[in-house]
Amino acid sequence: MRITKTIKRYLKKSLHGLWLNLYYKPWWMTRMVAHPGRYAVHDSYYPELKRKSILRIWLEQMEQIVRYGTPNEFYFPYGFDVKGRAEMETYLHYDPFMQQRDALNIRPHSATAVLRDKMLFGMFAGYLGVATPDNVGVTSGRDVFVPSTQSVVATDDFLAALSDGDYFVKPADGECGAGIFRIRKSGVDFEMDDTPASVDEISARLRAERYLIQRTVEQHNVLSAIHPQSLNTMRLVTVRDLSGDAGIVVFPSILRVGTGGSSVDNTSRGGLAIGIDLATGRLRPHGYYKPTYGTRTELHPDSGVRFADVTIPFFEEAKAQAIRLHSMLPGIHSIGWDIAVGPDGPVFVEGNDNWEINGPQICNGGLRDLFNHYAGKQ
């Protein structure tokens, strides 16, 4: 049996190598030749520094394809256009990081299922006394499970009984802010994403997939002052140190804030990411956009808040609770926690075993050596 598994692993690895070298890399190289400016031309995130020529940037992106299979999507946010080879080598490319992360997290008997289902995570964290958004319902076809009454009711009946207020609706197993919408109820009137909507319209939307319905979190005024329309959350990463006996530690992390009146803070939807000083909870000087939306800024574009003047409230409590939660989830090496801050302390929105390293690296610098150290590779 062991020999059979070894042969299967070898064949799988060999076939992947053939596919990568004979199809995937040549396909990307062809795209680079056909569209040379797409991955080699962008405004610099560091305009005060001397940048490389377009030809050199293009050649370095081709090298990324040879080494990793794709050009580096975050070449410009990482500042590679102004950085030398030695500093570039301190960054983890996303594809090998993702493979390493999953190999460490997705193992037999690991507790990833608790994180992948937002309803299950809320129950788990609540049992441990950690604050989470108030889950008022989870849909299943035409029905809604109501945790507070431990009952299942029809969608129309659920909406009729819903208290007045604002609610956040998200796919129970979604990510990156995809599929999220808002409901507001006032008496018998409803709005969906600030547009008047009928019960039939909302019911049809809720039946489309499995949704988690949460009461909107009241945000601490320090974070609300930056952008009040969105729930601005920390992506606080904890890592199980496999190099020794340090246990679970906090990894370089970020705060995400919305922009332009958006109800979500995700950078994939135009939000900003700002690094956090782990010792003090104070924000670093610059917020960073994804390349589609801009470069970097010291001030929030809407409120004018200077990021360097902001210290996240209850930051020590957030770190301690994240470490405690992680310690209760065996078999998972690293977790990216989405944490809001309410008037009375941290509110854990969700935990992600499939977190991305690009945000922490853009805001805090290259993290290859640190991550490999905690993975027990150094």
Segment 208-266, tens digit of pLDDT? 888 999 999 999 999 999 999 999 999 999 999 998 877 999 999 999 999 999 888 98
> What's the pLDDT at 353?
95
Give the span between the Cα atoms of 53 and 136, in whole angstroms.
55
Phi, psi of 348, deg, nearest 5: -85, 110
- pTM of model > 0.75: yes
Please name each of the domains of the chain with its CATH number: 2-89 (no CATH), 112-131+219-374 (3.30.470.20), 135-215 (no CATH)
β pairing state of 165-171 and 181-186: antiparallel
Tell me the percentage of the chain whose pLDDT exceeds 90. 73
Burial class (CB in 10 A: 0-12, 13-18, 19+), 47: exposed
Give the span between the Cα atoms of 362 and 366, in whole angstroms.
8
Segment 6-56, tens digit of pLDDT? 777 777 777 877 887 888 899 999 999 999 888 899 999 999 999 999 999
What are the CA-CA distances from residue 350 to residues 7, 53, 126, 219, 297 (Å)?
38, 42, 12, 16, 28
Decide: helix, strand or coil at residue 40.
coil
Contacts of residue 44, defined as CB under 8 A and 6 or more positions apart, other chains included, come to: 51, 76, 79, 81, 82, 295
Give the span between the Cα atoms of 131 and 340, in whole angstroms.
10
Segment 152-208, tens digit of pLDDT? 999 999 999 999 999 989 887 766 667 788 899 999 899 998 889 999 999 999 988
